[in-house]
A and B are shown apart, each in its own frame.
Chain A
């Protein structure tokens, strides 16, 4: 991800509040690089999303934990299907400007997220827990008894 840095004293006293903050007339050419970084940085973010909008899988020993960042998504807009060792997550976010307001900047976007993947071990789907908090979906999938970690004592020969 591109980081955008700018020097405060490079700002003209008034900057038109334009899309991408393109350079105001009279700004020095040395700002061009920063401006380009800024435009394409924003563009890059719009393609990839600035946060972890891909599911992350973690093995906590007895459980598999799937997390995904879904800011502004409410519970009713999340669909979760587990069948055998397959998991399917669908989430939608539909944004509209708040009533009575005009928009000056809209970087946050509506999205439809869909991801299906195969889990590395069998899980107990009946006891799976899904929790949506602080804009993060966390799915805790207990491993099936056969997949639980076991410690094997090594005997001396």
Chain B
């Protein structure tokens, strides 16, 4: 189990003042020796309407699906709190087929390393 990424509450922002349907998109979180991988289902969200923001220690994913009159926009939001093991400068994100991938590389001291044991 990991403590390097935990979910934090969504605080009321100006976007809540507008009429929009707030949706918590489903998220998968995976980890390997080098990185954390966050996957989120964001159908209809294009790169122009998507923000992936790291304001340490928060990782905020927000996508908007605009509607014709802006009265029934959909806003997808998830916020996670990162610990200091992530190399924030090297976070990468891409979206394809409506699925967002955020790669969060671990900073050097936190990577898993195998140490070869040599005999005498």
Which residues on A are within 8 Å of B, measured CB to CB? 1, 3-8, 11, 14-18, 21, 41, 45, 50-52, 69-74, 95, 97-98, 100-109, 132, 134-136
- A93 CB to closest chain B CB, in angstroms? 10
The contact string, 1 if C-beta is below 8 Å from chain A, for chain B 72-100, is 00000000010000000000000101110
* Contact (Cβ within 8 A) B41 A103: no
Verify if B53 is at the interface (C-beta below 8 Å from A): no
Q: What is the interface of chain A mostly: helix, strand, loop, or mixed?
A: loop
CB contact under 8 A between A107 and B26, given known A17-B1, A72-B99:
yes
Selected A-B contacts with CB under 8 Å, 9 pairs: A3-B22, A4-B24, A17-B1, A50-B25, A51-B23, A69-B44, A103-B28, A134-B98, A136-B44
Q: Which residues of B contact A100 (CB under 8 A)?
A: 32
Task: Kindly name the residue among A1, A41, A51, A103 whose own CB sees the greatest number of chain B CB atoms within 10 A.
Answer: A51
Interface residues of B in 3-56 (CB under 8 A from A): 3, 5-11, 22-32, 37, 39-46
- Residue from B5, B24, B29, B44 in contact with A134 in the complex, judged by beta carbons closer than 8 Å: B44
Bound complex: CA of A132 vs CA of B44, how far in Å?
11
Which B residue sits closest to A75, measured CB to CB?
B97
Contact A4/B27 with A17-B1, A70-B43, A108-B41 known, Cβ cut-off 8 Å = no
In the bound complex, residues from chain A placing their C-beta under 8 Å from that of B29 are: 103-105
User: Is B69 on the interface with A (CB-CB < 8 A)?
Assistant: no
